[in-house]
Amino acid sequence: MVHELRGPRRRLVETLQANGIRDLSVLRAFDEVPRHLFVPTGVRHRAYEDAAQPIGSGQTISQPSIHAMYLDVLQLTGKERVLEIGTGSGFQTALLARLAAQVFTIERVPALMDRAKEVLRSLHVNNVSYLVGDGTIGWREYAPYDAILVGAGSPGVPQPLVDQLAIGGRLLCPVGDRTKQDVVLVTRDIGGTRTTVIADARFVPLVGTHGWIDEPTA
């Protein structure tokens, strides 16, 4: 099953490379992780298109070029402790597991976490710790983190996540309104933090104490 759709996967890697992804370890991870296992069976034939796909519970798996951009910016060396906010499908978690030493991932929707765990365990991913809860408050027990990735759009960078960033660490977060954001890179050094805008993007809202307050449906 892992080796299914090898051709489309290779074409996706070539597309990412043509679009400026330079980190060979990131490209290798995309080549090795079977994205089709992380999407619903109804859209599996589209798994290697550079497009977001629905995964249920009102959430999406981001388009591959967004995941690749995140990972390319972070320049992981394999030694890092990484915090992921928004497990979602678990695809980015699988990529991170190949690129970092330890991954800590938080998801607020239990059904999504259960499904992600199932797929990741089927792929023998064993350097990931899972938490169902409010990602906007982070996971202080295992801080500080060398890298933090936020996979949903927030009105601002959640301060608890900044507080849990290691000296020399990098944090990526989409900041803006509920429909359109700028991905910002926050880097921390001894003197404080520095924020740089990386790209524009469209993510689902980051719901939580330091994100958007979930609005009741009519």
Residues catalogued as catalytic: 62
Gap between the Cα atoms of 111 and 88, Å rounded: 10
Distances (CA, A) of 180 to 67, 155, 185, 200, 205: 17, 10, 16, 8, 10
Give, to the nearest 10 degrees, the angle between helix 91-99 and helix 110-122.
Answer: 50
Look up tokens 């080796």; give the residue. 3
Chain-centroid distance of CA 160 in Å reads 18
